Amino acid sequence: MSSAALQPTLTDLGTPLSEVTFCVVDLETTGSTGEDSITEIGAVKVRGGEVLGEFQTLVNPRTAISPLVAVLTGITNQMVAGAPRLEAVLGQFLTFCGDAVLVAHNASFDVGFLKRACVDHDQQWPNPTVVDTVALARTVLLRDEVPNCKLGTLARHFGAGTTPNHRALADARATVDVLHGLIMRIGNLGVGTIEDLLEFTRKVSPQRRAKRSWAKDLPDAPGVYWFVGEDGKILYVGKATSIRTRVRSYFTAAETRRRMDEMVRIATGVQHLVCETTLQAEVCELRMIATHAPPYNRRSKYPHRLQWLKITDEPYPRLSLVRTVRDDDATYFGPFRGRVPAEDVTAALHDAFPIRQCTQRLAKRPTGSRCVLAELGRCLAPCDGSVAFDTYASTVEQLRTALTSDIRPVLSAVRERLSRLVSQERFEEAETIRRRLQQVIDTARRFHRIASLAAVPQIVAARSSPRGWEITVIRYGRLAQSALARPGEVPQAVARAAVATAETVAAPAAPLPAASVEEVERIGDWLEQARIIDIEGDWVWPLHATIAPSALPALALAPGTGQPRPIEAASGQVHRSTPPRPTALM
């Protein structure tokens, strides 16, 4: 292998420090933070260890300098009385600085005053790259080397040629020597560019920066990437619109997550898979996470942990929380990502429909005793035979209808109670009911969104992107194929080829899709911004399956006026409040 193949390009390396122009600045002020507090500006421009120029001027602050500051700096009111004002010298300093990297000791102080001055005097702040020698020194030097990071202490430590004396130019000259001393100190740690220097200041470890070459040969295209460990185990899976750019960010200060720093340190390499579309990248990421359960991925690792609410199949049905949807013709509602939202929805449904909450199995002619809920009027009490079988079955059927097609009875059932609680100023109890109803609404929207896609044998859709038309084939809620119609290609022809090569997907047991719930939700997000080319079956929601989000607050605050607003749906079109996009691509 040639040395050219091994050596990173200049783009990968960044700008060498020897070629960077630094403008080291120091300010003296009146001791206040008000307008025009600057009394002196001093700056030194250097590159490659050579001084290119110096800038120094006193400034008339148009306010008195405090005696303590005058003693400390030696700058008196008489000295600045004839000096130019800040608006006259600010532009000169910005011109002197140009596009250089701005350096200061405790940079937030000096940069803060300069930015404030630009705002006060209608000057555009150039937003330069800033290096803070205090932050750099704290990262580089150990406590047993220097007791603190004051400029005087560091100047003595590095043998600066100028002793800082609280005058702007002298302090700037001392800061130049401190900067050079710090750069020499970290040169053997692999810090050779301004990008390295900034990352080192932000405490990006040399081991992490050294792995940035992993990204140089990756493609600038959408897809998935995964970091692997010594044993080949997948540590982390991610997706990106540009694999190269995203992977490169893991080796810079842009990545601040602690667990990612740990992951990169123990990783031995990164692999990738280019995808035709961004949706395909998202789906591939989800499937890889579900298959390999990478230790450093927090989301999407355990899709089997979702929970569903089931109306049991027995003489006197009840609500039961289950993890598995079976092909048993029972009614399921969900899914829930945790037990708390599932319990909130269950409580809201029990408030609306007084079906039994006990767990024992009852015969068609029960002979038990009534429970406390029955005494409170919150249960029809089938356990003691006091309710007719048909009456209980009718209530269960109303509950089933509410879950599958019309959510309004759930809201109407608690309207009077909610109104009473609000009028009695029992706001905490009212908020509990409102939260439960919100969970019902959110779950109903998720349920029908998933179930509607799961019932459609095939959807062929396209969405425009900078790379061309992204075309997908969806079967029973599963991504079966992706393709990209690049500029100059006929999208309809690409779509027909995608359908011909798409994965064969068997119809799942309703309401489950043929893919994970999260995959269907990602597909739903994508389809709502896409155009339908072809569809087999009906992509619909029941008219009153959910309500508009604005209806619930109205119900909670003014029960007599809040009316649920169903979102329209029609056969073969996406369920939403705005008209569907036209299906034509050209």
Q: Which residues are catalytic?
A: 166
> Which among 280, 269, 273 has a CA at the least distance from the CA of 243?
273
36: left (phi over 0), alpha (psi -120 to 50) or beta: left
- Strand ranges inside 418-530, DSSP E: 458-465, 468-475, 478-485
CA-CA distance, 199 to 71, in Å (whole number)?
39
How far, in Å, CA of 520 to CA of 539, rounded? 13
Helix (H, G, I), strand (E, B) or coil at 272: strand
Phi/psi region, residue 458 (left: phi>0; alpha: psi -120 to 50; beta: rest), is beta
Tell me the pairing of strands 21-29 and 101-104.
parallel
Length of the chain: 586
Closest among 330, 326, 333 to 402, alpha carbons compared = 333
Q: Which of 236, 447, 452, 455 is nearest to 337 (CA)?
A: 447
Q: Using DSSP, how many helices (H) and how many strands (E) does the chain show?
A: 23, 15
**Cβ contact 251:218 at 8 Å:** no
At 329 the three-state DSSP class reads coil
- Any residues with CB less than 8 A from the CB of 170 and at least 6 apart, and which? 42, 162, 163, 164
What is the Cα–Cα distance from 159 to 152, expressed in whole angstroms? 10
Angle 269-272-273 (CA atoms, 0-180°, nearest 5)?
A: 160
- The sign of the CA dihedral 502, 503, 507, 512 is negative
Find out whether 473 and 502 touch, Cβ atoms under 8 Å. Answer: yes
Is the preceding peptide bond at 582 cis, omega within 30 degrees of 0? Answer: no
Q: How many CB atoms lie within 10 A of CB 121?
A: 15
| Among 538, 478, 449, residue whose Cα is nearest residue 279 | 478
Give the Cα separation of 199 and 139 in Å (integer): 11
Q: Tell me if 24 sits within 8 A of 104, measured CB to CB.
A: yes
Nearest alpha-carbon partner for 149 in 162, 160, 136, 159: 136
- C-alpha–C-alpha distance, residues 499 and 462, integer Å: 13
Give the separation between CA 513 and CA 451, rounded to whole angstroms: 7
| Residue 295 structure tokens | 């230790």
Q: Do the Cβ atoms of 318 and 355 come closer than 8 Å?
A: yes
